[in-house]
C-alpha cells in the first residue's frame, strides 16, 4: 500500500521528527502535531523546501480533554484522509513514584495512553471503512517489564504494547497493519523531559540509537506487517526477553539497582 498521508503526534522533536523526515523522503504528505508551534512550522518549511509534499501543522496539547476528537475533527474539516497514524507523543518521569507530582503522572497516562486509544479508535474505524491503513503506536522496551523509578511510564508502555499487539491480531486479515514500536534508549529530548539526574546518565553511559535508525527499522517492520519491533540491537532484544529467562523478583531487584542513583 502506498502511504499518501501520515499523521504524526509528537512531531516536533526526536523520534516523531525523524518519522517526518523519513516519510517526507518517501513522498508522504504529513500532518504534524505537537505543542511547539515554532519547531513544527520550521520543520514543515524545511521538509517542503526539500520535497514537493503537503505538510499540515496542528498545534495541540494532547493532554487536554477530548484532544483526540479535536484532532480527528480538524483532519475531517480539512478534508484529509490519514493512511498512516503514528501515535508517538509521550514522556517519562524519573523518580520515586510517591515523590513525583501526581498531576504529571496523570498527564502521562492521558498522553501515553488515553489520547493514543482515542486516536486509534477514531482513525481505525475510518481505515476499516476503506479496507486499508496503518497504525504505529510507540511503546518502548520499558513495556516488557516493570521499571522501578519509572513505574508509571513503564506501565503506560506495557499498555501500548499489549493494546497494539491485540489490534494487530484483530486487523491482520483486513488490510490494516498495527505495529507496536519498542525503542531502546534513543537520541531525543526524552531523558531531559523525564528529568533523569546527571548521575544516572553518568552511571548508564550506554550508547543511544539514532532516532533515524529507529524510524527506518519501524517502517521496515510495518512493511512486513509485524506486530512489534524492538529497535537498537541485540542488547535491547536480550532485555525484552529477560522476563522469560529470569524469575520476576530477581529481575526487579536487578533493574532497581540499575535505575537507582
Ligand atoms: N528516547 C527514548 O529513549 C525512547 C525510548 C523508548 C520509547 N520512547 C518513546 O518515543 C516517543 C517519542 O519520544 P522521543 O524519545 O522522541 O522524545 P522527545 O524528543 O521528548 O519527543 C516527545 C514528543 O512528544 C511531544 N509532546 C510531549 N508532550 C506533549 C503534549 N502534551 N501534547 C502534544 N505533544 C506532546 C513533544 O512535543 P512538544 O513538546 O512540542 O509538545 C515531542 O514532539 C515517546 O512516546 C517515548 O515514550 C523514547
State the closest ligand 1 atom to the C-alpha of 188, by its place in the atom list counted from 1. 19
Q: How far is the CA of 243 from the centre of ligand 1 (A)?
A: 26
The beta strands (E) that lie in the chain are given as: 5-9, 29-34, 55-59, 84-87, 133-138, 176-183, 228-231
State the closest ligand 1 atom to the C-alpha of 39, by its place in the atom list counted from 1. 40
Q: Ligand 1 within 6 A of 232 CB? A: no
Q: What is the pLDDT of residue 3?
A: 82
DSSP-derived secondary structure for 11-32? TTSHHHHHHHHHHHHTT-EEEE
Name the band, by pLDDT with cuts 50, 70 and 90, for residue 255: very high
Which residues are annotated as catalytic? Answer: 153
- Domains delineated in the chain: 5-259 (3.40.50.720)
Q: How far is the CA of 111 from the centre of ligand 1 (A)?
A: 10
Angle between helices 151-171 and 115-130 (to 10 degrees): 10
In sequence order, what are the residues at sequence separation of 6 or more whose Cβ sits closer than 8 angstroms to the Cβ of residue 125?
A: none
Q: What is the pLDDT of residue 205?
A: 66
- The pLDDT tens digits of the residues spanning 40-70 come to 999 999 999 999 999 999 999 999 999 999 9
Pocket mutation for ligand 1, best pick of 17, 34, 74 (most atoms within 8 Å of C-beta): 34
Q: What is the pLDDT of residue 192?
A: 96
Q: What is the pLDDT of residue 234?
A: 96
- The pLDDT tens digits of the residues spanning 180-212 come to 999 999 999 999 999 999 888 777 667 899 999
C-alpha cell of residue 183: 525503542
- The pLDDT tens digits of the residues spanning 19-42 come to 999 999 999 999 999 999 999 999
Amino acid at each position: 500500500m502506498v502511504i499518501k498521508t501520515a499523521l504524526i503526534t509528537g512531531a516536533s522533536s526526536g523520534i516523531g521528527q525523524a518519522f517526518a523526515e523519513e516519510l517526507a523522503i518517501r513522498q508522504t504528505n504529513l500532518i504534524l502535531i505537537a505543542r511547539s508551534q515554532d519547531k513544527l512550522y520550521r520543520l514543515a518549511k524545511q521538509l517542503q523546501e526539500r520535497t514537493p509534499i503537503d505538510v499540515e501543522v496542528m498545534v495541540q496539547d494532547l493532554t487536554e480533554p477530548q484532544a483526540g476528537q479535536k484532532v480527528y475533527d480538524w483532519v475531517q474539516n480539512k478534508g484529509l484522509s490519514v493512511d498512516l497514524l503514528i501515535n508517538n507523543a509521550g514522556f517519562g518521569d524519573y523518580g520515586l513514584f510517591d515523590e513525583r507530582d501526581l498531576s504529571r503522572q496523570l498527564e502521562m497516562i492521558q498522553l501515553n495512553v488515553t489520547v493514543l486509544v482515542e486516536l486509534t479508535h477514531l482513525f481505525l474505524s475510518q481505515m476499516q471503512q476503506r479496507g486499508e491503513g496503518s497504525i504505529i503506536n510507540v511503546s518502548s522496551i520499558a513495556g516488557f517489564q516493570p521499571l522501578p523509578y519509572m513505574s508509571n511510564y513503564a506501565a503506560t508502555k506495557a499498555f501500548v504494547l499489549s493494546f497494539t499487539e491485540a489490534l494487530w491480531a484483530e486487523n491482520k486479515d483486513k488490510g490494516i497493519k498495527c505495529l507496536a514500536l519498542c525503542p531502546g534508549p534513543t537520541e531525543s529530548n526524552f531523558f531531559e523531559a523525564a528529568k533523569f539526574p546527571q548521575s544516572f546518565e553518568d552511571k548508564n553511559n550506554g550508547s543511544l540509537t539514532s532516532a533515524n535508525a529507529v524510524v527506518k527499522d519501524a517502517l521496515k517492520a510495518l512493511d512486513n506487517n509485524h506486530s512489534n519491533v524492538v529497535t537498537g540491537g541485540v542488547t535491547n532484544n536480550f532485555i525484552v526477553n529477560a522476563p522469560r529467562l529470569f524469575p520476576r523478583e530477581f529481575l526487579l531487584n536487578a533493574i532497581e539497582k540499575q535505575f537507582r542513583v
